[in-house]
Structure 1
Amino acid sequence: MRRRVIRSKGRRVQSVEDDLMRPELTASLDGRELPVIGDGALMAALGQARTHTMRDIVASIQAEQDLVIRAPAASVTYVEGGPGTGKTAVALHRAAYLLYQDRRRYAGGILIVSPTPLLVAYTEGVLPSLGEEGQVAIRAIGSLVDGAEATLYDAPPVARAKGSSRMLKVLRKAARGALEPNDSPQRLRVVAFGRRLELEAGELADIRRTALGGTAPVNLLRPRARKLLLDALWQHSGAGKRHTDPELAAELRASFDEDITGEDDFTAFLDAWWPELTPAAVLDAMADERRLGRWARRILNPGEVRRVARALRRVGRSVHDIALLDELQAILGAPARPRRKRDLDPLDQLTGLEELMPVREETQRERAERLAQERVEYAHVIVDEAQDLTPMQWRMVGRRGRHATWTVVGDPAQSSWSDPDEAAQARDEALGSRPRRRFELTVNYRNPAEIADLASKVLALAMPGSVSPKAVRSTGVEPRFAVAGGPLGETVRAEAARLLEHVDGTVGVVVAMQRREEARRWLDGLGDRVVALGSLEAKGLEYDATIVVSPRRSPTSPRPACGSCTSP
């Protein structure tokens, strides 16, 4: 049995490849054995030169991957697989398959969460080639909150503090503490019924504490705080004792409230004393180390407070800040807005013609586009490189799939998060009580054996007892190790230039996250086939050749080293 894959462009056949599905059987025609054409669709696809975007990968899907793609979606499908096992390919095909199987069920949309914008850019062209576009959203973890985009990466100590579930307690305290800015008014003075009424700082503090009782979103408590202020002023006025008749007393109180709330002084005080908070405003308030220290007492240690506050003072948001903004949005809530009247021509309003003018109904396509833009929850959520999500990021992703089915794809051995148990607990909370179905991808289709063997040695040291996926191909090219004999940048540039001559596709230069800009300067002028990226950004990407620049120094190797891996 064989699968014959014919690649064509227009009317021209570009290649023909045979995959033997049952290698032990031979096919014959008129007593002669039929020849096998090509190296097989999988090997042909793996041997093609890489570009900066993922190719159509239908022909290279293999049996164990196909089982995952077609798995029932009525639960949580959890997929583990080592490097090169095609986890991202499986995630993309699963999205297309689910829509093909039950488009009505997944009309609520499918969300694919990727670790970095680079992986999003690498994969976003694949779904249209699979025939699915519009119903599937591919988002980087730093792009899940509308109006905010991550442009920075935190240093590991800061990332550990921001990503920890401990931050939930800090954010809840900060959301309430930020209601009292440094210049918050300490006294309220108004005039009602010809009398001057005042509330002092102590009374205001008691009213604030009373209003903040419970767990309701902070912004939704402003009407409650306003009423408590009016109650206290009414008590000071003594007007409630003037009438024993309940109806007259109610009318007097309504008149009192109307007089007070109509005063500009009261409105200005309320805006300053109980401002409408935004997640960005609270995060900016946390950049004040002294205030953050109060809110994070007994939650973060002084060193963590100092580092987090300093990081929040930078211009721009980090990947971990996006999860904090999303959490703050849930804590603060959005205040109810009055509905805006439909914009009309002034002449129509004067003549009453607005009552006669029909309102154009939006088309089905316009409605679909509007709902897609407003969508905050999805029918199915696929998480790629799930092992890297922090507890706070799991909470953010979980809000987008509260009623969804899930596919979670990852490799525990590649986790960049320091506390896998804490992340697993947050993941389980996000996934809820849905039943789990587990799969394991065991074959490394993408990386040649030479690189896979080196990776397995590193894995044996980092996670003893772990089993590496089996590589299916070999190139005969062993990874090289080179010690910089001079400036590190010159050595890396020379290695990159050498590899560009040996491969037809792309060359990736992987450095520590804080050295990305420096590495780009090293490679300036070598062309767009070579790219410098940080270690976290390299997740899921493929290159024909890779240079890994070690940031470590040791007594036996006083200079930084770089290693070259070529995989044509």
Structure 2
Amino acid sequence: MRERTAGLDSSAAGDWVSQKFLESAIFLRMKALADDPTVPLFFGRLDYDDHDPGAPEHSAGEHFYVGRRHVSDEVGDPMVVDWRAPISLPFYRASRTEPMGVRLRRRFGFQHGAMTAYEDEGLLDPVPTADDAAEHSAILEAEIERPRVGPMRDIVATIQPEQDVIVRASLEDSVCVQGAPGTGKTAVGLHRAAYLLYTHRDQLSRQGVLVVGPNASFLRYIGDVLPALGEIDAQQTTIEELVGKTLGRLNAKYVVRGEDAPEVATLKGDGRMAEVLRRALWSRVRVPDEGLLVPRGARRWRLATYEIEETVAALRARGVRYGAARAMLPQRLAHGILVKMELAGDSPDDRVQDAVARGREVKRYVDQVWPAVDPARLVLAVLGDSEVLAAAAEGILTDDEQRLLLWPKPPKGPGSARWSLADAVLIDEVADLVERTHSMGHVVADEAQDLSAMMLRAVGRRCSTGSATVLGDLAQATTPWASRSWDDALGHLGKPTAHLEQLTLGFRVPGEVIEYAARLLPVVAPGLEPPRSVRRARGELDLRAADSPRHRDDLLAEAVAAARGRVGSVGLIVPDALVGHVESLLGSAGIPHATLGEEPADLDEGVVEFDVPLDLVPASLAKGLEFDHVVLLEPAAVVAGEADRTTGLRRLYVCLTRAVTSLVVVHAEEIPAELAQH
């Protein structure tokens, strides 16, 4: 297929414009056909029964190989059908109680691109006994137990029925997935994006698909999943980048470079701020002091103040954006003048109305009544002027909250302001009130529990006419402004009717590790169902106590050395405050590593995240990642590094659940009491 695409001749196009379009199409097609030779193109086969009425149309008696993408032969006949095609659905959903027309399901096992095993499951055989039903697919088990090395990989060969229901949800439906650690919620969200791109290719190619992740390291970790499935069109970004683009579009000098205290950031992220900003914006529309006088030829035409007030009120009542209504006002005023002319016996046409609307008098009058607004300047006025804030926040924010919001020393202008992320989100809100934000066809929001109400509104604006897949775990909410319920979060996102799915079966975190971490759940998320590991391997949990910091460092070095000597990736998770200290230890020991959070350009040559034997992970960046072996340093310091104990325990819960095979906890400080043996 790649050879056929590469052999296409763009010079056959009729003109140079068509040739450029054809060259671009060939380039994108070649990019989509790029593949890793160590990853098999097919992983299953379906043999349909000859006479089963449950079989899909035209499938009776046929067999199909199922793979990551569609593969055709020289004449275009399918050799492998895409896992997302309707014909592939029974591979994930069929069972002996509901065979869906499938006589036999075959799974293939591979190692390094070479087939090593296959196993058959006869779905039309007699219903199994309880003992038979307890049997699991050895190939599925091997895939789930396989060591994690490098960035996240796709899960097309191991998607479970409850996951497949989410993956194949309709484009019109928004879905919220509450998933415990290791349940595959991130993979499910990415595979749903791939499924929707396949099923609604034309629509989503025009409208776009966006994946919003918690940080840049996380996006690099998941960045290979969609391309491996042949999908290269989806955009991936963080909330910082998302609202930062709005800042840059307003003015290149507006950049995020400040940081708020937790209580200030929490208040700026409160959903009430949306109404405060709306009031502040629309307060700019002024009641005219005098009417509009327009000279035209030898005569002057006048609109009275009451007529203009009625026009302004009618525009506001339409519910359109501030900027759109402002753009309509000149034509509305010009139409009023046109009516005056007609009543006086003139016969003006549309050209006269356009000329009046573009005239200097009307433009000057519109600027006075309905002034243009720079969203950054408006937010600057709200946060920097106590009178402006008091007028907009009356009855919404208390006096103490208003004092907390005000900048101690307002900057001279937006270009010199040290905008924080929370400020940028507020500016993004105002920008949407002025001019509607472009809506994409679908948005995947991962770790959504950590987004504030205002951040959720910013994400929701990007899918106001589309749908969303919301992924998260309330037990892993680690920001001061995090959501406490999905109902609230979905309301702020603008998707209150989204369907809530809960995943509790863990395919990544082993039983011993998840049970240990789950001791924190009664404190951090008492209403959630505890996760259950379905893995046969119980995993390894090792608690190593030191009697001094020096002894702790020795134990840490031993644990890291032991983990590096085993198969799989190694993550050394440390409290943010100890990152520098641990980097020095690793450097002194000559251990190559990558520190998450550093930009790729800042990393040592040849040392890249998730591509080295050891990743040093600040606790604040551990969310969403997984490593075969995890060494966690000083759990008590992880807890102490957060604004309050509950948030700290949630952060610790995240750090404890990153391990796929083994977890070693090294500490000199006392382990948090919540982890004590019950």
Question: What TM-score, normalized to structure 2?
Answer: 0.56
Is residue 2:519 matched to residue 1:451? no
1:142–1:208 distance in 2 versus 1, CA, 3 Å: farther
2:11 corresponds to which residue? none
Is residue 2:383 matched to residue 1:287? yes
1:376–1:465 distance in 2 versus 1, CA, 3 Å: closer
What amino acid is aligned across from residue 530 of structure 2 in structure 1?
A: S
1:381–1:38 distance in 2 versus 1, CA, 3 Å: closer
After superposition, where does 1:400-549 map in structure 2 within 5 Å? 400-416=462-478, 420=483, 424-425=487-488, 427-428=490-491, 430=493, 432=495, 436=499, 438-464=500-526, 466-471=528-533, 472=535, 473-480=537-544, 485=549, 497-504=557-564, 505-511=569-575, 519-520=579-580, 523=583, 526=587, 527-531=592-596, 537-543=621-627, 544-545=629-630, 546-547=632-633, 548=635, 549=637
1:38–1:284 distance in 2 versus 1, CA, 3 Å: closer
What amino acid is aligned across from residue 148 of structure 2 in structure 1?
A: Q
Q: How many angstroms apart in 1 are the aligned matches of 2:398 and 2:424?
A: 22
User: Would you say how many aligned residue pairs link Structure 1 and Structure 2?
Assistant: 475
Q: How many angstroms apart in 2 are the aligned matches of 1:315 and 1:481?
A: 47
Q: 1:120 aligns with which of 208, 216, 219?
A: 219
Q: CA deviation at 1:456?
A: 0.6
Q: Secondary structure at the match of 1:142?
A: helix
Is residue 2:198 matched to residue 1:100? yes
For structure 2, the residue ranges without an aligned partner over 5 or more in a row are 1-104, 122-127, 249-255, 297-304, 598-616, 643-647, 663-678
Is residue 2:111 matched to residue 1:7? yes
Deviations 1:61-94 (A, max 9, x none): 4444334323444423332221111110111112
1:86 corresponds to which residue? 184
Q: CA deviation at 1:469?
A: 1.3
Q: 1:396 aligns with which of 453, 458, 473?
A: 458
**Does the Cα contact within 8 Å between 2:174 and 2:467 map onto a contact in 1?**
yes
Q: CA deviation at 1:288?
A: 0.4
After superposition, where does 1:331-370 map in structure 2 within 5 Å? 331-333=433-435
What amino acid is aligned across from residue 48 of structure 1 in structure 2?
A: R
Q: Secondary structure at the match of 1:446?
A: coil
Q: How many angstroms apart in 1 are the aligned matches of 2:516 and 2:625?
A: 18
1:70–1:270 distance in 2 versus 1, CA, 3 Å: closer
**Does the Cα contact within 8 Å between 2:269 and 2:455 map onto a contact in 1?**
yes
1:305 corresponds to which residue? 402
Is residue 2:179 matched to residue 1:48? no
Greater Cα shift, 466-475 or 271-280: 271-280
After superposition, where does 1:129-148 map in structure 2 within 5 Å? 129-134=228-233, 136-145=234-243, 146-148=245-247
Q: How many angstroms apart in 1 are the aligned matches of 2:359 and 2:516?
A: 73
1:285–1:6 distance in 2 versus 1, CA, 3 Å: same
Q: CA deviation at 1:213?
A: 5.4
Is residue 2:372 matched to residue 1:276? yes
Q: How many angstroms apart in 2 are the aligned matches of 1:495 and 1:295?
A: 57
What amino acid is aligned across from residue 528 of structure 1 in structure 2?
A: H
1:531–1:479 distance in 2 versus 1, CA, 3 Å: farther
Q: How many angstroms apart in 1 are the aligned matches of 2:342 and 2:518?
A: 86
1:344 corresponds to which residue? none
**Does the Cα contact within 8 Å between 2:449 and 2:482 map onto a contact in 1?**
no
Q: CA deviation at 1:169?
A: 1.2
Q: How many angstroms apart in 2 are the aligned matches of 1:267 and 1:468?
A: 63
Deviations 1:19-56 (A, max 9, x none): 89899669xxxxxxxx9789712101xx234x3x3234
Deviations 1:435-473 (A, max 9, x none): 73x433222222233331222100023333533211223
Question: Sequence identity of aligned pairs in percent?
Answer: 27
Q: How many angstroms apart in 2 are the aligned matches of 1:481 and 1:208?
A: 75
1:538–1:321 distance in 2 versus 1, CA, 3 Å: farther
Q: Greater RCO between the two (CA within 8 Å, min separation 6)?
A: 1
Q: Secondary structure at the match of 1:133?
A: coil
Is residue 2:440 matched to residue 1:378? yes
**Does the Cα contact within 8 Å between 1:82 and 1:444 map onto a contact in 2?**
yes
**Does the Cα contact within 8 Å between 1:376 and 1:400 map onto a contact in 2?**
yes
Q: CA deviation at 1:329?
A: 1.8
Deviations 1:285-338 (A, max 9, x none): 23304233442233223443344333996955544344323321221227xxxx
2:57 corresponds to which residue? none
Question: What TM-score, normalized to structure 1?
Answer: 0.66
2:272 corresponds to which residue? 166
What amino acid is aligned across from residue 623 of structure 2 in structure 1?
A: K
Deviations 1:376-415 (A, max 9, x none): 3233333322333333233333333233344332223323
What amino acid is aligned across from residue 297 of structure 1 in structure 2?
A: E
What amino acid is aligned across from residue 523 of structure 1 in structure 2?
A: E
Q: How many angstroms apart in 1 are the aligned matches of 2:145 and 2:238?
A: 30
1:153–1:179 distance in 2 versus 1, CA, 3 Å: farther
Deviations 1:147-177 (A, max 9, x none): 4486666443223212222011111122245
**Does the Cα contact within 8 Å between 2:330 and 2:363 map onto a contact in 1?**
no
